[in-house]
C-alpha cells in the first residue's frame, strides 16, 4: 500500500485550510462533516466560503500564510493555486509532524482524502468507526466481489498514459470525460481479459480521435422520484454521478442531491407559488448554454419529468438547438405517495380509472373540468393543490360529489417526514387549516382513501 488508511477523529479538533476558493470550499465541507473546528487563511475569500462561515462556524483570517500560523492545529489542508505557498505549508506542517494535504499534489502530502461514500456511520474506504465492525466487514466483502483484481492493472494503464492525455487534452473537464469513457468501456474490458497490449493500442487510437473531435455537451432530464433516495433508478444515479452540472428544483431532497458527484456544480432553479428562482424560459436557455459549453448537465426534477414537470418544454429548446439529450423517467408523486400511504390508485371495488390534475394553472387559477372530476368510481390525484384545497372541495361538492367523499392530503410522501391527513370533502379543509403543513403535498380523492387504515404499511406521522 502506498497509503495506510487511517480514520482520524476530528470532532471539535482545530484544523487549518489555506486557501478559500471553490476547491477549498469542498474540503471545508468534508472536514465540517467530521465536526472539525476550521480556520481558513487566504488573502481572498470566495463567496462560497463566506456562505459557509455561519453554517460551520468558520474562523476566517484574510491574510497570507505564515509558518507561525500553524500553532496547535491537528490537520492542515493547502488548497491554493500558488506553488510557493503550497510548498511552504507542506514543509512547515511536515517539520511539526502535522498531517498535511496539498490538493492535487501527492508529493507534498502526508495524507490524502479517500473517495468517500457517506452513509454514516459507514464510510468507504471502509470503516464503521467501531459502530458496526461486522457490517463493515460484510460491506468490504461485497465491494471486493464486484471490483475485479484487474482494476490494479487498469490503474497502471491510466498512469502510463496520464501525461500523454494531459498533453493532448488541455481542459480538465474534457480529460475527466475521456478517462470516464476509457475506464468503464471497451478498453477496460480488454484489460480485464488480459489483453493489455490491445488496450494500449485502442487507447492511443481513442486519444487521437478525441483530439480531432472533442466531447460535446449533453443534457440528462432525470426524474428524482417523490423524495426517498432509494427510489431513484440505476440510470438516474449513474448519470448524476458523471454530470459536470446539476440543475435542480425545489422538490429535490438534500439526500438525493448529495448523491450527485461531489465536485459537480449545483444550480438551484426551484419554483414555488408566486416565486420562481428562475423563469422557465431562462431555465430552458440555461440548459442549452451549459451543454453548448461542453458540460454534461443533469436536469434533476422531482417526480417524473413528463408529469407536471415541464420536461417537454425543456427538451423542445434542446431539440431546436441541436443538443443531445436523454430523458430518465422517475416515480411520479402520485404513485409514490399513494403507495407509501396504503392508498391504491385503482381498485375493483372502488375505482376503475385514475386522473392526474394540477392544482393551479399557468395563471395560478384553479379552473378545472369539475363535472368530469366529480364523476363516481374514479380516483383523482391533485398535484400542487394545497393553496386551493378549500376551493377544490367546494367545487367538487357543487358539481355533484357527495360531501362525505373521502379525501387525503399527503405531506412529503415516501420520506421520514411523511404525514397523511384524511377526511371528507366537507371536513378536510378545516383539518388542514389547523396543521403546520410542509410542502410538497399531494391530494388523493375517492373511496380508495378508505383503504388507508387497513393497508397503511409505512410508518408515518399520521393525523386523521
Q: Which residues are identified as catalytic?
A: 249, 271
- Please tell me whether 226 is known to bind a ligand: yes
Q: Is 123 annotated as a binding residue?
A: no
Taking the C-alpha atoms of residue 91 and residue 79, their distance in angstroms, rounded to an integer, is 15
Annotated binding-site residue? 453 = no
Residue 240 marked ligand-binding: no
Query: How many Cβ atoms sit within 10 Å of the Cβ of residue 423?
Result: 20
Tracing cell 393525523 back to the chain, one arrives at: 463
Answer yes or no: is 413 a known binding residue.
Answer: yes
> Starting at the edge strand that comes first in sequence, how are the strands of the sheet with 265-268 ordered?
265-268, 245-248, 296-301, 218-223, 324-328
**Residue 336 marked ligand-binding:** no
Is 343 flagged in the annotation as binding?
Answer: no
C-alpha to C-alpha distance for 459 and 463, rounded to whole angstroms: 12
384 assigned to a ligand binding site: yes
Q: Residue written as cell 466487514?
A: 137
For 79-236, list the strands marked E by DSSP: 100-102, 117-119, 122-124, 218-223
Judge whether 43 is annotated as a binding position. yes
| Range 21-56 burial, b when 16+ CB lie within 10 A, else e | bebbbbbbeebbeeebbbbbbbeebbeebeebeeeb
* Maximum Cα–Cα distance across the chain: 83
23 is in an annotated binding site: yes
For residue 422, the Cα-to-chain-centroid distance in whole angstroms is 32
φ, ψ of residue 404 in degrees (nearest 5): -95, 15
DSSP bridge partners of 119:
122
* Nearest CA-CA partner of 260 in 244, 272, 273, 283: 244
* Partner residues linked to 59 by β-bridges: 39
Q: What is the CA radius of gyration of the chain?
A: 27
- DSSP letters, 224-243, are -BSS-GGGS-HHHHHHHTT-
Binding residues for NAD(+): 22-23, 43-44
Binding residues for S-adenosyl-L-methionine: 226, 302-304, 307, 332-333, 384, 413
Binding residues: 22-23, 43-44, 226, 302-304, 307, 332-333, 384, 413
Amino acid at each position: 500500500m502506498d497509503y495506510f488508511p487511517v480514520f482520524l477523529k476530528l470532532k471539535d479538533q482545530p484544523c487549518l485550510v489555506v486557501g478559500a476558493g471553490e476547491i477549498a470550499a469542498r474540503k471545508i465541507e468534508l472536514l465540517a462533516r467530521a465536526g472539525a473546528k476550521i480556520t481558513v487563511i487566504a488573502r481572498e475569500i470566495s463567496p462560497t466560503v463566506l456562505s459557509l462561515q455561519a453554517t460551520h462556524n468558520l474562523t476566517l483570517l484574510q491574510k497570507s500564510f505564515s509558518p507561525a500560523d500553524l500553532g496547535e492545529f491537528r490537520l492542515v489542508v493547502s488548497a491554493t493555486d500558488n506553488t510557493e505557498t503550497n510548498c511552504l505549508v507542506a514543509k512547515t506542517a511536515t517539520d511539526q509532524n502535522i498531517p498535511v494535504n496539498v490538493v492535487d499534489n501527492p508529493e507534498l502530502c502526508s495524507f490524502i482524502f479517500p473517495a468517500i461514500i457517506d452513509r454514516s456511520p459507514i464510510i468507504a474506504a471502509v470503516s464503521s468507526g467501531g459502530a458496526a465492525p461486522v457490517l463493515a466487514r460484510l460491506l468490504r466483502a461485497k465491494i471486493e466481489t464486484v471490483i475485479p483484481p484487474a482494476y490494479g492493472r487498469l490503474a497502471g494503464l491510466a498512469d502510463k498514459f496520464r501525461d500523454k492525455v494531459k498533453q493532448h487534452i488541455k481542459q480538465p473537464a474534457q480529460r475527466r470525460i475521456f478517462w470516464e469513457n476509457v475506464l468503464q468501456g471497451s478498453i477496460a474490458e480488454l484489460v480485464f481479459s488480459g489483453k493489455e497490449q490491445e488496450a494500449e493500442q485502442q487507447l492511443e487510437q481513442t486519444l487521437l480521435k478525441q483530439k480531432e473531435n472533442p466531447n460535446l455537451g449533453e443534457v440528462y432530464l432525470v426524474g428524482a422520484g417523490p423524495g426517498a433516495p432509494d427510489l431513484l433508478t440505476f440510470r438516474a444515479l449513474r448519470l448524476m454521478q458523471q454530470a459536470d452540472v446539476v440543475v435542480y428544483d425545489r422538490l429535490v431532497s438534500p439526500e438525493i442531491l448529495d448523491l450527485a458527484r461531489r465536485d459537480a456544480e449545483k444550480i438551484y432553479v426551484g419554483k414555488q407559488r408566486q416565486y420562481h428562482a428562475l423563469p422557465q424560459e431562462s431555465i430552458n436557455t440555461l440548459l442549452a448554454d451549459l451543454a453548448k459549453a461542453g458540460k454534461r448537465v443533469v436536469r434533476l426534477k422531482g417526480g417524473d419529468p413528463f408529469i407536471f414537470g415541464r420536461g417537454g418544454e425543456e427538451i423542445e429548446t434542446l431539440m431546436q438547438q441541436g443538443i443531445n439529450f436523454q430523458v430518465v423517467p422517475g416515480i411520479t408523486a402520485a404513485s409514490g405517495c399513494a403507495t407509501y400511504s396504503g392508498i391504491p390508485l385503482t381498485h375493483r371495488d372502488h375505482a376503475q380509472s385514475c386522473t392526474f390534475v394540477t392544482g393551479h394553472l399557468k395563471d395560478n387559477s384553479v379552473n378545472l373540468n369539475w363535472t368530469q372530476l366529480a364523476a363516481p368510481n374514479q380516483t383523482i390525484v391533485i398535484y400542487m393543490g394545497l393553496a386551493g384545497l378549500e376551493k377544490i372541495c367546494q367545487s367538487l361538492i357543487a358539481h355533484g360529489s357527495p360531501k362525505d367523499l373521502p379525501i387525503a392530503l399527503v405531506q412529503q410522501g415516501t420520506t421520514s417526514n411523511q404525514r397523511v391527513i384524511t377526511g371528507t370533502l366537507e371536513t378536510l379543509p378545516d383539518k388542514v387549516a389547523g396543521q403546520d403543513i410542509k410542502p410538497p403535498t399531494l391530494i388523493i380523492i375517492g373511496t380508495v382513501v378508505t383503504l388507508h387504515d387497513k393497508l397503511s404499511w409505512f410508518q408515518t406521522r399520521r393525523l386523521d
